[in-house]
Amino acid sequence: KKKRMILYDLIIVGAGITGLSAARYLSKHHPEIKFKILEARDRVGGRTLNQTVSLPLSSDKDSDYLTTIIDIGGQWIGPTQKNIHELIQQLEGNNNSSVFIEQTWATRKDKYAGQPGLYEALRVKSLTMEEEQEVIEMNKRLDQMALEIPSVQEPFKDCAMAKEWDQISVGEYLEKNVQQKNSLQELFLEIITLTACNPDRVSLLYWLILLRSVPGGYVLLDDGLNGAQHYRLKNGAQNISILMANELKNQYGSDVIQFSQPVTSVRYHDSLLTLTTVSSCQQYATHRLFLAMSPTLLKSIQFTPSLPLDYQKLSVTMFMGHCIKTIFIYKIPFWRRHDRQPKQVEDALRGPVYNIYEIDLHDQMYYALTGLIDGDLAKYWCKRSEHELTTSIIAQYQYLYNSQEIPIKTIVQYWPNEQFSGGCYAAVFPPNGLSQYGSVLRKPIQFDGSKNPNIWIASTETALEWISYMAGALEAGERTIKEIIKTI
């Protein structure tokens, strides 16, 4: 039986950082605007997700348990990402300083044995000084190329090289311009780690736009001091969305966010948009629709009339990064041992994980390694059983760190298999994609006969700063809602 259809000024689809930050802006500055948030999942947070883990405090069967929160989605915050710092301060109040955890990055080069904060980007062998210098010079060169792009929003305007850069992949460009094999491998590893995509699939222009969106360029994308991976949150990154959602519920009531309501169809008729959710017994009517989700998800909704062709093509041309995030918890940090003999041969790469870092559980009783599987390798392991994957990673760690330790708990998050994300960290453009459809990425949709735009799409992919980061999702949400308000 169909429920009574209520008319809203605005409906926001998606209760991640973008959608919730937009709703929060409305609540603070325009509480008179009537809106509703529809979320496909049974939770808030989008591509951020916490998992609470309980671990025994002793071996006694009646032991009390330690509870800790682990990020199994996006988690990083850089010191220069001012917007997300300000939001956390507003949400946490006086507790702001205690919520940040400073990530330490102790690499093999830093003689990390015995220290917390292990970080490994696995290679066939370490770089020579000459190879390291070539990597540094190429990153500087890419930064300079990015500065030739006048703006993230209009990369083709007044940039003579933009079209040429979009015709090739960043992988192809590096293969032509990097002389030493190990330097090339290192640069490929950087791009896979930062995009969760193989470099031969990513437009060179897209990579330059991503760099251009970072105030300070590549150096601030790095894992080092003050880099984009400097902080994580004690209560997990999803807590940002949880706190925003709680604010909205306190102001508007618990039903301001409707969960488990994936939108299946949107119909435009007589100046109104009618949304139908998967339950088919619930419909919502609105004058304006804010799709706070990746453009790749547009193809999951049936629009009547059909979306303009460029938006349809945009949805199938962009593609999500592929990332499997694994966390293995151990009783001892065997990777810190002074006497271990680190492997620097090709056999060290025989396992699934190419990127490993230690996370601090803050109890000195348990220790954890996060292992990332990115790009085409993640596609492969998404088709294998979880048992096969965890067994392979255990063997890889045992070989790499000369140990026979077995984890007491393993956590695996398959982001490519998430129906309402389709991958992680963010969607990217392949070669020639920006030239053909990039112009509509941040452009609202206006149906024939309408005086104003009807549909806006925003997410970290449409950010003007910090594309693919939480700070980017926040920027996109707040900027887009301000555009929408002008039409109300």
Binding residues for FAD: 18, 39-40, 263, 461
Binding residues: 18, 39-40, 263, 461
Using an 8 Å Cβ cutoff, are 72 and 50 in contact? yes
CA count, 13 A, side-chain hemisphere, 394: 17
d(CA 26, CA 344): 54
- As a dihedral over the C-alpha atoms of residue 21, residue 227, residue 184, residue 153, rounded to 10 degrees, the angle is 40
d(CA 467, CA 461): 6
C-alpha 186: how far from its chain's center?
22
C-alpha 75: how far from its chain's center?
8
What is the DSSP code string of 33-97? S-EEEE-SSSSS-TT--EEEEEEESSSSTT--EEEEEEESS---B-TT-HHHHHHHHHHHGGGGG
Using an 8 Å Cβ cutoff, are 183 and 127 in contact? yes
Nearest to 251 by CA among 43, 90, 3, 35: 35
d(CA 301, CA 292): 13
